[in-house]
């Protein structure tokens, strides 16, 4: 949780990229076309981050609940993720972007997991922008997995129950190497958090914008980031 007085903008922005399916349906096209349009939008937002002094960007790509969608849409999304990594890997690396993935990889196919591992390894030395992609991710699932790992450490005698506090549990989260998000943006007009970064967003500011994700431009991103600087953040305290 960052409380720097010398920065007004968000260091870490997280985005729920909502509205791809509706974007396609409004145009009489298959939902998957909207996901492809949304993937193209990611590149523009990535390039806009350094100019807006955003160091960390976390994108919600596929939730643990998204498996409930039709088999054809899920299969299409998995193919899209594989193609995106293959197509964008070298550009991300050359642009100084470090890529991480969070979420449970057990249900993902081996080829996709291999591509994810390789991209993380390829970009491990980059530091211009830290991009985290939440894939097969759910906030409750993450905390549950963290609690299981923590319980195992207690069972093995490496920790005691007296060692367990919020800081200890946070070390077992997928995001343990990342700062908490300062700003969470959700596109498409929906005003809910959909099980995204539940623990990490305890003190985040939220922006719910009406724009569908494929139409969410770098200019609008910049305006939302700028509005963040106008907010007074108390973190539970009373400001004098």
CA 181, CA 120: separation in Å to the nearest integer?
20
Q: Which of 11, 66, 141, 215 is catalytic?
A: 66
Side-by-side strand order, sheet with 12-16: 97-102, 129-137, 56-63, 12-16, 183-186, 205-208
Instruction: Please give the distance of CA 166 from its chain centroid, rounded to a whole number.
Output: 21
- DSSP summary character for residue 181: P
Q: Which burial class, exposed, middle or buried, applies to 22 when counting CB atoms under 10 A from its CB (0-12, 13-18, 19+)?
A: middle
Q: Which of 4, 6, 11, 18 is catalytic?
A: 18
Question: Is 18 a known active-site residue?
Answer: yes
Question: Is 66 a known active-site residue?
Answer: yes
CA 40, CA 52: separation in Å to the nearest integer?
20
Helices (H), the chain: 20-26, 31-48, 71-94, 110-122, 139-155, 166-170, 218-228
Catalytic residue annotation: 18, 66
């Amino acid at each position: 949780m960052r409380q720097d007085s010398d920065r007004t903008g968000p260091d870490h922005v997280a985005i729920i990229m909502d509205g791809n399916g509706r974007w396609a349906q409004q145009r009489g096209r298959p939902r998957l076309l909207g996901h492809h349009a949304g993937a193209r939008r990611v590149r523009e937002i990535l390039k806009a981050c350094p100019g807006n002094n955003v160091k960390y960007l976390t994108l919600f790509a596929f939730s643990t609940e998204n498996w409930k969608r039709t088999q054809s849409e899920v299969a299409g999304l998995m193919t899209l993720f594989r193609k995106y990594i293959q197509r964008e890997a070298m550009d991300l690396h050359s642009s100084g972007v470090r890529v991480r993935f969070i979420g449970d990889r057990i249900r993902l196919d081996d080829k996709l997991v291999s591509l994810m591992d390789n991209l993380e390894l390829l970009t491990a030395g980059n530091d211009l922008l830290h991009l985290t992609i939440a894939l097969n991710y759910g906030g409750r699932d993450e905390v549950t997995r963290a609690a299981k790992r923590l319980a195992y450490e207690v069972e093995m005698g490496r920790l005691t129950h007296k060692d367990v506090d919020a800081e200890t549990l946070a070390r077992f989260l997928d995001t343990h190497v990342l700062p908490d998000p300062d700003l969470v943006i959700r596109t498409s007009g929906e005003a809910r958090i959909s099980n995204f970064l539940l623990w990490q967003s305890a003190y985040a500011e939220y922006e719910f914008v009406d724009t569908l994700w494929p139409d969410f431009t770098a200019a609008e991103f910049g305006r939302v980031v700028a509005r963040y600087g106008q907010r007074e953040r108390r973190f539970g305290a009373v400001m004098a």
